[in-house]
Amino acid sequence: MSSISRHKTAIKRPTLSRPIRIALEHGLLNHNTTLFDYGCGHGDDINRLNEQGILSSGWDPIHRPDHERRQADVVNLGYVVNVIEDSAERAAVLLDAWSLARKLLIVSARLSFQTNIGCPQSPYADGYLTRRGTFQKYYEQHELRDWISNILGVSSVAVAPGIFYVFHDHDFLQSFAASRYRRTASAPRQKHSNVVFEKYRELFDPLIAFITNRGRLPDHSEIGNGTAISEKIGSLQRAFSIIRQVTGADQWEIIRQERSQDLLVYLALSRFGGRPRFSELPIDLQLDIRAFFSTYRHACELADDLLFSAGKPEMIREACAKSSIGKRTPDALYVHSSALPFLSPTLRVYEGCARAYIGAVEGANVIKLLQSKPQVSYLYYPDFEHDPHPALVASLIVPLHTFHIHYREYLDSKNPFILHRKETFLAPDHPLRAKFARLTKQEEGWNLYEKPELIGTREGWKKILDEKGVYHAGHKLLRRKSIKS
């Protein structure tokens, strides 16, 4: 349509676009994969990926119309469907992009809360015409997910607000979904010596790495040197027995328990996209389930109990009260994003319900788990690590009963909310916890928390500091020197 200036929607990007950056972080784009950017605009993503050694190409109806539309492992449909004013054409573009993706299609579009309020817009079709003559269709998160699923006939995975993955390979989908809830762990350190262990240390290292990652013994097909281990040591079981002798058995049991919990969290949340049959799971997940729960039925029963508990307010209140991680208030539990994997399974599923809907919220590093009603908030404190009392810059609230997202920015606030006692948000082994705790102890010594009604905002906190005659130098509290007349 001549009145729509589609050519104006392509923008020059100084950095990689968000969908591409996220796919790189997830390891789905690498030197072993190819990318096709469908509607690539000026081709900035393509150029940067090729510079990194990732084979990439693209097509755009305006800026690169002569380039071939070709198949690739990953196809990116980045912020394209929201600028097409014709709904039939929009669906055709999605189908065409899907036909080119061998493994993964990435679909992204702007959401309703991302509307540029300062830019005049007038209703047009199912979207808006901007002052520049471009079209924008703003989606709700669930609307975009449902549209993708209805057009393609397959489920999609929310990875961020307005960004979805659609997998061609079902095994690939389940492996990715399970990996999102598998926490990282360090292998137990060696405590004792063993002649066989020292002699064949290189054989033991891959086995240690596998068991640390999965919490169970591998099948011979899952480890490259399994046959060599059996020939030299006798069996994988005997090799692991030696490993436990030199490291101690307690930490391995903790790793096993953590991996079984991670698997239950994945299975509980898989109900939202339609839990797969056991035969539809990748072999490695099948082996996990047999190792931890014997049968898939038993694992699913436990996962359903876990999901049910996350939907009961009294269970959430109890889990928050018992949590050794996080800052508790009368109405909520606040945790740093790095501490999420260390919460109880009930609280992980509670937060996971929001993440299954919205995906990972970029920049959000403090999560608020509300107890009075089913609601999870993602809060952005950009200077959490360096500012002794960082200010809130933005919040995204996900009500689990309506899923109507609320977003608010505080960049222009003259008196923003700030954080105290930062160590309480972190897991016990976080490297910054001790540093933050020392500052809290200093502030308690100066009785700076006597007026909780004041200290929650920057101006109120400054007033308290001025009254006490102290100031912050990094994460240290110093006395102000009096000025003699």
Q: Are 258 and 300 in contact (CB under 8 A)?
A: no
Q: Is residue 227 left, alpha or beta, with left meaning phi > 0 and alpha meaning psi from -120 to 50?
A: alpha
Predicted local distance difference test score (pLDDT) of residue 28: 95
Query: What does DSSP say about strands 327-328 and 332-336: parallel, antiparallel, or unpaired?
Result: antiparallel
Neighbours of 143 (CB within 10 A): 14
Neighbouring residues of 381: CB distance < 8 A, sequence distance ≥ 6: 365, 366, 390, 391, 392, 393, 419
Distance CA 130, CA 23 (A): 30
CA distances from 479 to 160, 205, 443, 466 (A): 45, 52, 12, 10
Q: Are 45 and 56 in contact (CB under 8 A)?
A: yes
pLDDT tens string 106-144? 999 999 887 765 566 788 888 888 887 889 999 999 999
pLDDT at 42 over 80: yes
- Token code pair at residue 322: 């018992």
Q: Which helix (H) or strand (E) holds 296?
A: helix 296-310
Helices 226-233 & 236-247 angle (0-180, nearest 10): 80
Taking all residues of the chain, what is their mean pLDDT, rounded to a whole number? 93
Residue burial 67-90, b: 16+ Cβ < 10 Å; e: rest? beeeebbbbbbbbbbbbbbeeeeb
Distance CA 33, CA 52 (A): 12
CA distances from 415 to 104, 392, 410 (A): 45, 10, 9
pLDDT tens string 286-317? 999 999 999 999 999 999 999 999 999 999 99
pLDDT tens string 313-357? 999 999 999 999 999 999 999 999 999 999 999 999 999 999 999
pTM (predicted TM-score)? 0.90
Predicted local distance difference test score (pLDDT) of residue 1: 42
Distance CA 215, CA 260 (A): 8
Helices 296-310 & 283-293 angle (0-180, nearest 10): 80
Give the alpha-carbon dihedral of 295, 299, 301, 306, to 10 degrees: 170
Q: Are 443 and 384 in contact (CB under 8 A)?
A: no
- Going by C-alpha positions, the residue among 257, 259, 255 that lies closest to residue 284 is 259
pLDDT tens string 264-291? 999 999 998 889 999 999 999 999 999 9
Tell me which DSSP letter residue 59 carries.
E
pLDDT tens string 381-415? 999 999 999 999 999 999 999 889 999 999 889 99
Lowest model confidence (mean pLDDT) among 49-63, 131-145, 436-450: 131-145
Q: Which helix (H) or strand (E) holds 313?
A: helix 313-322
Q: Which helix (H) or strand (E) holds 205?
A: helix 201-214
pLDDT at 485 over 50: no
Lowest model confidence (mean pLDDT) among 48-57, 177-186, 429-438: 177-186
